[in-house]
Amino acid sequence: MPEGLSANEAGKEFNELVSRAREQATSHRHARSIAIVEAVLLSVVTLVAAWSGFSAAKWSTESGLELSHASTARTKANRAYQGSLTIRTLDAAGFNAWFTAYLQDDKTAEKVAQKRFRPGYDIAFQAWLATDPFTNASAPKGPQYMPQYKPPGAAEARRLDHEADALFGQGERAATNSDEYVRVTVILASVLFIVGISSQFPISAVRYGLVALGGALLVFGAVEILQLPGPPS
């Protein structure tokens, strides 16, 4: 029997070897290409995730500061309001002394009581007397019901209350921004996981699928970040 391969068989064997070599070269190029894509995707995701985490931390700090300022303003408002209540009480005590003297028709006591009025209260008192309260049924009940009556601290308390409300709202919005950035960071972390495990699969189709999923999530996260306000300075 003749030994070796015939020319026809040798040609077929050579063609099979060339085909396998080409397949291996193509597979190697695909593996190298997808490895490059994975490396680029991981690099981009890492940078975007770092920015998102930084923004979340900055907004969280901003929220804490705004809420702290709101608490301070609220405390000052309460202090100013309590001060105005004290002045109201003193004004009422002075008016009661004057009114008692008026009922007793003690003119000297009336004058003494009136001299003890605060300048601001005396303005409201004189305006109240001008309404003829003892004969006019529609007159205000007392000087404290007059528009001229403005006890010190009352306006400041209202201003500080409005300031505290505004600061609290800013703190809530900052906290919401921080939460949104945290949510995006979690999405980006899932991209790192998906792309990271893709290299463990020998099947190229699976790797391409995982990379495509990771890329889609990266785009989604990037769009979410673009819709959020940047970190506070």
Q: What digits encode the pLDDT tens for the residues 98-114?
A: 999 999 999 999 999 99
Q: Is residue 9 part of a domain?
A: no
Q: Is residue 17 part of a domain?
A: no
C-alpha–C-alpha distance, residues 147 and 151, integer Å:
11
C-alpha–C-alpha distance, residues 136 and 138, integer Å:
5
Q: Is residue 135 part of a domain?
A: yes
Residue 63's nearest CA partner among 182, 163, 179 is 179
Q: Is residue 91 part of a domain?
A: yes
Q: Is residue 22 part of a domain?
A: no
Q: Is residue 231 part of a domain?
A: no
The total number of structural domains that make up the chain: 1
Q: Is residue 189 part of a domain?
A: yes
Domain residues for the domain of 110 are: 47-226
132-155: pLDDT as tens digits: 999 998 999 999 999 999 999 999
Q: Give the distance, in angstroms, between the CA of residue 116 and the centroid of all CA atoms in the same chain.
A: 51
Rounded to the nearest integer, the mean pLDDT of the chain is 86
Mean pLDDT of 66-74: 96
Tell whether the model's pLDDT for residue 1 goes beyond 80: no
Q: Is residue 185 part of a domain?
A: yes
